[in-house]
């Protein structure tokens, strides 16, 4: 068994925009679990797999791109890493900056970031700027700052480095399954991940490493679904805060992934997202953050509408870890049994037979 040292020092290195001069800033991201879901397979009549991206070092898929972006930022002599974020990108940027000995600043929408993500950014030592506005406002400010100041912007906007790193998820999936799946489902916010995942499948197929490519099925929250509407949303609304994005930066990439793959980008309601979030924890033992579950919600929605042929092999990206948003886990419907520490009382509380 070989030991895993992260993406840059893995067999995927040749696909990444690094050279011998690039320092490898890594937390050993990648190589995440690909689990077969017996529950979803039985429910849908498909062969359904979960790519558990919450198992990355900072708890989301963002680490795949951030190892590349921050390694290159360090190589270029940057001193400050900057990003706008709904939470996960900021946690990841802050962690990799800490690892590289760089300063980090993150712009986040005030009151709209899950507590765990904020806690990560703070503890990794980032300067956190809470902005009175949406994620889209944060991103605009970050881009303008980067245009006029010597900072390394690590958002995926015009950041080929992030997307190159995020493509590796497709390589891992094809290597694990022996071929590309028929369908790949995932949540869509700013549009970077559907773009990168599609590019990864295409690159592998172009080199003959996969027999084909999947259809890309992306899902947005109904209150924050600009790509479904075909126009930006000024006031995006969803409890799945990670994907509360009204004006995706990688708009063309996301639409391209949809159209080139013969796929779709559709909306799912918060109710569907949260039902999927609860079900994947309960039935598969995977605690993913709410936005993460949009891919499952979307697959089940297609199934319910009779739009999912049986027998397909489906991979679903679970993009972030449930621990990031423990509040969401306990919201509505937590009923602990309280008792003393006396064994007999505990037995009674558990309704154990005498």
Residues lying near ligand F0G in the complex (CB under 6 A): 60, 62, 85-89, 187-193, 242-243, 245, 289, 291-292, 319-320
Of residues 170 and 243, the one with the C-beta less far from ligand F0G: 243
86, 243 Cβ separation under 8 angstroms = yes
Of residues 192 and 263, the one with the C-beta less far from ligand F0G: 192
Of residues 47 and 325, the one with the C-beta less far from ligand F0G: 325
Of 231, 174, 214, the residue nearest 34 (C-alpha): 174
Of 134, 159, 192, 139, the residue nearest 317 (C-alpha): 192
Q: How far is the CB of 17 from ligand F0G (least distance, A)?
A: 18
- Count other C-beta atoms under 10 Å from residue 20's C-beta: 4
Of residues 47 and 55, the one with the C-beta less far from ligand F0G: 55
Q: How far is the CB of 36 from ligand F0G (least distance, A)?
A: 21
Q: How far is the CB of 302 from ligand F0G (least distance, A)?
A: 19
Of 308, 231, 254, 340, the residue nearest 46 (C-alpha): 308
Q: How far is the CB of 337 from ligand F0G (least distance, A)?
A: 32
256, 146 Cβ separation under 8 angstroms = no
Q: How far is the CB of 172 from ligand F0G (least distance, A)?
A: 17
Q: How far is the CB of 43 from ligand F0G (least distance, A)?
A: 22
- DSSP letter assigned to residue 310: T
Of residues 23 and 223, the one with the C-beta less far from ligand F0G: 223
3 state DSSP class of 302: helix
Cα–Cα separations (whole angstroms), residue 22 to 17, 25, 31, 69, 275 = 9, 9, 21, 11, 44
Please, what sign has the CA dihedral across residues 279, 280, 284, 287? negative
CA distance 142 to 144: 5
Is 271 buried (19+), middle (13-18) or exposed (0-12) by CB count in 10 A?
exposed
Of residues 216 and 279, the one with the C-beta less far from ligand F0G: 216
Q: How far is the CB of 258 from ligand F0G (least distance, A)?
A: 12
Of residues 47 and 49, the one with the C-beta less far from ligand F0G: 49
Of 108, 131, 136, 115, the residue nearest 235 (C-alpha): 136
């Amino acid at each position: 068994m070989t030991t895993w040292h992260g993406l840059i020092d893995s067999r995927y290195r040749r696909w990444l925009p690094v050279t011998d001069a690039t320092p490898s800033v890594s937390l050993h991201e990648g190589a995440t679990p690909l689990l077969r879901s017996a529950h979803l397979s039985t429910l849908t009549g498909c062969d359904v797999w979960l790519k558990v991206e919450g198992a990355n070092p900072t708890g989301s898929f963002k680490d795949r791109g951030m190892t590349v972006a921050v390694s290159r930022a360090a190589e270029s002599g940057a001193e400050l890493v900057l990003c706008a974020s709904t939470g996960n990108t900021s946690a990841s940027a802050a962690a990799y900056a800490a690892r590289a000995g760089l300063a980090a600043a993150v712009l986040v929408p005030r009151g709209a970031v899950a507590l765990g993500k904020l806690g990560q950014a703070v503890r990794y030592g980032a300067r956190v700027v809470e902005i009175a506005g949406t994620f889209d406002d944060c991103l605009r400010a970050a881009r303008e700052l980067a245009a006029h100041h010597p900072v390394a912007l690590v958002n995926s906007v015009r950041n080929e480095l992030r997307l190159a790193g995020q493509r590796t998820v497709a390589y891992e999936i094809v290597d694990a399954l022996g071929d590309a799946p028929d369908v790949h489902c995932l949540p869509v916010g700013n549009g970077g991940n559907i773009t990168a995942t599609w590019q990864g499948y295409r690159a592998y197929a172009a080199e003959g490493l996969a027999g084909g490519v999947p259809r890309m099925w992306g899902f947005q929250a109904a209150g924050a679904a600009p790509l479904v509407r075909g126009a930006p949303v000024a006031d995006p609304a969803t409890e799945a805060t990670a994907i509360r994005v009204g004006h995706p930066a990688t708009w063309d990439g996301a639409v391209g992934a949809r159209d080139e793959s013969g796929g779709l980008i559709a909306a799912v309601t918060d109710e569907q997202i949260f039902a999927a979030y609860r079900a994947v924890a309960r039935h598969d033992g995977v605690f993913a953050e709410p936005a993460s579950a949009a891919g499952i919600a979307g697959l089940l929605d297609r199934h319910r509408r009779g739009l999912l042929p049986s027998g397909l092999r489906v991979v679903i990206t679970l993009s972030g870890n449930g621990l990031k948003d423990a509040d969401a886990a306990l919201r509505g419907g937590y009923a602990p049994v309280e008792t003393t520490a006396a064994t007999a009382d505990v037995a009674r509380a558990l309704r154990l037979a005498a």
